[in-house]
Amino acid sequence: MKIKSKGLAALVISLSMFGAGCSSSGNQVAGTKTMDSKTTPSAGGQQTISWVSHPQYGMKSPDPKRLEYVKNAVSNFEKNHPNFKLDNSQLSSTNSNESMANLMQQVTQGRAPDISMIDSFMFPQFMKNLQPLDDYLAKAGIKADDFFPFVQKVVKGPDGKIYGLWFNTDTRVLFYRKDLIPQPPKTWDEVLTIGQQLKAKGMDPFIFPGGRGEGATITSILPFFWGQGGKLVDDQGNATFASGDNKQKMLNFLTFVNKLVQTGVTPQRVANYKIENDQNNEFPSGKIAMFLGGSWQGQVLHDLLGDQEFDKWAVAPIPQMSADQNATAAGGWVYGVFTKDPAKAQAAVDFLVDAFVGDKGMGQWCDIGGWLPTRKSLYGSPDWKGTKFNDDFKLQLDKYAQTRPSAPVYSKISEQMQIALSSVISGSKSPEDALKDAQDAVSKQ
């Protein structure tokens, strides 16, 4: 990807300011059919495939189940591809934006790894340096249109070819107690009405991440803003979140949050919750009636509460300003192939399909990590167990999921809107002042 030095510097600076996490079984990796790379590398002797992964996803993962799975996947690959060896190194930081800035620097300096994980919302920044994968997917029997629409939108280039293997994802939903709420709220007004009724009964009706962390942006801000048709940036990557029609849409959201706090439907302590999992300690109390969370928290609920209490919970679309609106956010990681060596690229895709993208590989990997598959055919398949909410999650991913914009200014917008949200929750700023301050801070960058 040819990037002028000024543009690269801006990208690195903006990414380093911003930290994002996308989300918080069997352990024996399943084999898939091997392909042409099994027999002959580009040159004589064994070749090494340099493979960069997130620290949680590779050969040094601190999670025992993930580590065992990855080790088995590597062993299986090297047994079936004796002319290739995988050399796994870690992304430079668990802060995905810092690590993506460093990876971009490697790419522009001609030091790209053969394959690397790329945070999904930053993937378009790398596309011009990656190899098209359509032929490899066809050999593996995987159809591009099996991936959810939001996945295809990100990994397809202007030429219509597939440049990335998005292998896990998540989504955001309303979790609610169906024993307390027979019909989940569809609108903000319904949230307020139901919430005040439950507050009178001693419940904490509605919580969500409201602090200064990316979880607040992707779970608590964007679905409400997107549901109104809001756009954070224009086609040129310029900030538009607080100008034109978008200003009123963002103000509508902050005003709703202010009402939640003023009525007691949402406790002010949510301003301390930076990510979705910060809410987890609330659940065993039995006082939470509704919360906005990530799909992986379905398993968290089950583990914390046990079968009987977990059975009281259901999920629904995130309530919107009006009942005819719907939006949610999706995250996850994508593998990209940088190497131009066709045999090495084929071998690398063999590994990725076997371990993460094929039916059994994707199913097992997602079960181990609590993620959702990015391929529609896995839902209802024996290769993926998931949770009782699988069909609900699939509907959201198939119809309503959106991803964060890859524009460098997004990091500053997210940071400033987190400050705006937490300020409204704490009562230190009005919705109008909070949004104006966010707009002013972003425009100064």
Q: In whole angstroms, what is the distance from residue 419 CA to residue 132 CA?
A: 40
Domain count, the chain: 2
- Shared domain check, 160 and 57: yes
Q: Is residue 304 in some structural domain?
A: yes
Report yes or no on 425 lying in a domain.
Answer: yes
Question: Looking at the structure, do residues 183 and 253 belong to the same domain, yes or no?
Answer: yes
Q: Is the residue at 316 inside a domain?
A: no
Please report, for the domain that includes residue 118, its CATH number: 3.40.190.10
Are both 135 and 186 inside the same structural domain? Answer: no
Asked, for residue 143, whether it belongs to a domain, the answer is yes
Residue pointed to by tokens 């538009």: 240
Q: How much of the chain is in helix, strand and coil states, percent to nearest 5?
A: 50, 15, 35
Distances (CA, A) of 20 to 109, 155, 328: 25, 20, 17
Residues 165 and 184 both lie in one domain: no
pLDDT for 21: 42
* 3-class DSSP assignment, residue 170: strand
Please give the Cα distance from 94 to 118 (Å, whole number): 12
Q: 396 near 173, Cβ under 8 Å?
A: yes
Per-residue pLDDT tens digits for 297-329: 999 999 999 999 999 999 999 999 999 999 999
Asked if 383 and 413 sit in the same domain, the reply is: no
Q: Are residues 412 and 398 in the same domain?
A: no
The DSSP secondary-structure symbol of 208 reads -
Regarding whether 422 and 279 lie in a shared domain, the answer is yes
Which residue segment(s) compose the domain that 56 sits in?
Answer: 32-169+330-402
Q: Is residue 1 part of a domain?
A: no
CA–CA dist 210, 422 (Å, integer): 6
Cα 326-295-59 angle, rounded to 5 deg: 135
213: tokens are: 């962390």
Residues contacting 189, CB < 8 A, separation 6+: none
**What torsion, rounded to 10 degrees, do the Cα atoms 98, 101, 103, 104 define?**
170
Residue of 33, 31, 69, 29 lying closest to 53 (CA atoms): 69
Neighbours of 51 (CB within 10 A): 21
Residue 303 sits in the same domain as residue 439: yes
414 in a domain, yes or no? Answer: yes
Flag whether 378 is in a domain. yes
Residue among 374, 422, 378, 353 nearest 80 (CA): 353
Q: Three-state SS for 113?
A: coil
pLDDT score at 91? 87
Residue by residue, pLDDT tens for the chain (445 residues) are: 333 333 444 444 344 433 334 443 333 333 333 334 444 444 458 999 999 999 999 999 999 999 999 999 999 999 999 999 999 999 877 777 789 999 999 999 999 999 999 999 999 999 999 999 999 999 999 999 999 999 999 999 999 999 999 999 999 999 999 999 999 999 999 999 999 999 999 999 999 999 999 999 999 999 999 999 999 999 999 999 999 999 999 999 999 999 999 999 999 999 999 999 999 999 999 999 999 999 999 999 999 999 999 999 999 999 999 999 999 999 999 999 999 999 999 999 999 999 999 999 999 999 999 999 999 999 999 999 999 999 999 999 999 999 999 999 999 999 999 999 999 999 999 999 999 999 999 999 6
37 in a structural domain: yes
Same domain, 287 and 381: no
